[in-house]
Amino acid sequence: MSEDKNFVYAKEEPVPGAQDSYEMSSESNKDHSSPKSVSAWQDFKDSFKRVKLEEMDPNLTEAEKIAMATARSPLQRHLKNRHLQMIAIGGAIGTGLFVGSGTALRTAGPAGILIGWGLMGTMIYCVVMAVGEMAVAYPVSGGFTTFAVRFLDESLGFALNYNYMLQWLVVIPLELVAASITVNFWGTPPRYRDGFVALFYVVVVVINFFGAKGYGEAEFVFSLIKVVTVTGFIILGIVLVCGGGPEGGYIGGALWNNPGAIPGANAGQRFKGVCTVFVTAAFSFSGSELVGLASAETENPRKVLPGAAKQVFWRICLFYIISLCLVGLLVPYNDENLIGASSVDAAASPFVIAIKTHGIRGLPHVINVVILISVLSVGNSGVFACSRTLTALAEQGYLPKIFAYIDRKGRPLVATVFTCVFALLSFIAASDKEGDVFSWLLALSGLSALFTWLGICLCHIRFRRALAAQGRSTDELAFTSPAGYWGSVYGAVMLFLILIAQFWIAVWPLGGGGSAEAFFNAYLSFPVLIAFYVFHKIWKRNWTWFIRAKDMDIDTGRRVVDIDVLREEVAEEKSVLASKPFYYRVWKFWC
Q: What is the pLDDT of residues 191-206, one digit of tens each?
A: 777 788 888 888 888 8
Polymer length of the chain: 591
Average pLDDT over residues 294-316: 70
d(CA 506, CA 514): 7
With 0-12 / 13-18 / 19 or more C-beta atoms within 10 angstroms meaning exposed / middle / buried, residue 208 is buried
DSSP labels for 92-151?
T-SHHHHTHHHHHHHHHHHHHHHHHHHHHHHHHHHHHHHHHHHHHH---TTGGGGHHHHH
Contact 107, 276 (CB under 8 A): yes
Instruction: Report the 10 Å Cβ neighbour count for 47.
Output: 15
The predicted structure's pLDDT at residue 412: 81
Buried b (16+ CB within 10 A) or exposed e, 150-174: bbbbbbbbbbbbbbbbbbbbbbbbb
Contact 555, 5 (CB under 8 A): yes
In this structure, of 56-65, 95-104, 428-437, the range with the lowest mean pLDDT score is 56-65
The predicted structure's pLDDT at residue 459: 92
The predicted structure's pLDDT at residue 42: 64
In this structure, of 1-10, 29-38, 331-340, 401-410, the range with the lowest mean pLDDT score is 1-10
Average pLDDT over residues 250-259: 84
pLDDT band with cut points at 50, 70 and 90 for residue 142: low
With 0-12 / 13-18 / 19 or more C-beta atoms within 10 angstroms meaning exposed / middle / buried, residue 548 is exposed
pLDDT band with cut points at 50, 70 and 90 for residue 524: confident
Q: Cα dihedral sign for 55, 60, 65, 67?
A: negative
Residue 457 pLDDT exceeds 90: yes
Among the listed residues 144, 465, 458, the one whose alpha carbon sits nearest the alpha carbon of residue 305: 144
In this structure, of 68-77, 290-299, 516-525, the range with the lowest mean pLDDT score is 68-77
Between residues 364 and 332, which one has the greater pLDDT?
Answer: 332
pLDDT tens digits, residue range 157-200? 889 888 888 888 888 888 787 777 777 777 777 777 778 888 88
pLDDT band with cut points at 50, 70 and 90 for residue 343: low
The predicted structure's pLDDT at residue 435: 62
Between residues 544 and 36, which one has the greater pLDDT?
Answer: 544
pLDDT band with cut points at 50, 70 and 90 for residue 55: low
Q: Does domain 68-496+533-560 have CATH number 1.10.1280.10?
A: no
In this structure, of 3-17, 127-141, 343-357, 397-411, the range with the lowest mean pLDDT score is 3-17
Query: Which H or E element spans position 527?
Result: helix 525-540
Spell out the domain ranges in the chain: 68-496+533-560, 564-591
- Most confident segment among 216-220, 360-364, 445-449: 216-220
pLDDT band with cut points at 50, 70 and 90 for residue 45: low
Cα within 13 Å of Cα(50), Cβ side:
11
pTM above 0.85, yes or no: no
Q: Which amino acid is present at 552?
A: M
